[in-house]
Amino acid sequence: MNSEFTKLLEIIISASLINNFVFTRFLGLCIFFGVSKKMETAVGMSITFTAVMMVSAALSWVVFTQILVPLDITFLEIIVFIGIIAGLVQVSDTIMRKVSPGLYYKLGIYLALISTNCIILAVPLINAGEKYSFIQSLAFGLGSGLGFGLALVIMASIREKLELADVPAPFKGLPMAFVITGLIALAFTGFSGLITL
């Protein structure tokens, strides 16, 4: 039980810091650069994202181990996972609109963006590849969501200051954001020896 718990902790730390999706796996960059201009949107996106990520990790684990593996059709994983995610986003969109219009007003727009985010597809694919158990898949989803949220918040806080900085004309906007991300990524390589898996 105890070692199981440490393993979970390791997965969460590894997914959020050491193998941070944005800085070391380079996924979800479109969304990362798109919504990191303002702190408020960055926080909203992180919350929505982490929630959807965990549910989709759980759902795709069930489908993968209970349907795809017994039937020996694991090569269909991409098609099945993208279907699950698109369906999940659609369903949570509808439910949220009915149950809590206030929350929908705040976070609804991020839901629509999420289905085009590659991290959301990468998590089930990596879960399947690593043969994680159900709880471990959930932990991996949580860690990835936290890591993505952390990246967004760091970036948003820098970019808000950057608005006032005097950047050379060709570097204005996206190129500068890339250079900054590179520097943060360099800092994140410092986490690489944090724990040994």
Partner 1 sequence: MSSTSSTNLKDLILNGIVKENTIFKLALSLCPSIAVTNSLKNGIYMGIAVLFVQVMVNLTISLMRNIIHPKVRLPIFMLVISGWVTVTQLMMAAFVPDVYAKVGLYIALIVAFASILARAEMFASKNSIIPSMADGLGMGIGFLFALTTISFFRELVGKGSLTVPTGLSTQHVFTFINTKPLLIMILPAGGFLAVGILMALFNWINARYAAKSAHASH
| Window contacting partner 1 (CB under 8 A); options: 36-44, 52-60, 122-130, 138-146 | 122-130
CA dist 21 and 46 (Å) reads 13
The string of DSSP letters for 171-190 reads GTTHHHHHHHHHHHHHHHGG
Distance CA 193, CA 176 (A): 29
Compute CA distances 31 → 22, 95, 192, whole Å. Answer: 10, 24, 25
Question: Which pairs from 193-197 meet CB under 8 Å and 24+ separation?
Answer: 194/13, 194/17, 194/18, 195/10, 195/13, 195/14, 195/18, 197/10, 197/14
Shortest Cβ 54–partner 1 spacing (Å)? 19
118 touches partner 1 (CB under 8 A) = yes
How many residues interact with partner 1 (rule CB under 8 A)? Answer: 42
Among 9, 73, 91, 183, binds partner 1 (CB under 8 A): 183
Binding mask 32-71 toward partner 1 (x if CB under 8 A, else -) reads -x--------------------------------------
User: What residue type is 75 in one-letter code?
Assistant: F
Least CB distance to partner 1 at residue 50 (A): 18
Distance, in Å, from the CA atom of 8 to the CA atom of 137, rounded to the nearest integer, reads: 9
Q: Minimum distance from CB of 107 to partner 1 (Å)?
A: 20
Question: With binding defined as CB under 8 A, does residue 193 bind partner 1?
Answer: no
Provide the binding-site residues for partner 1, judged by CB under 8 A: 23-30, 33, 75-76, 78-79, 82-83, 86, 116-118, 120-122, 125-126, 129, 168-172, 174-179, 181-183, 185-186, 189
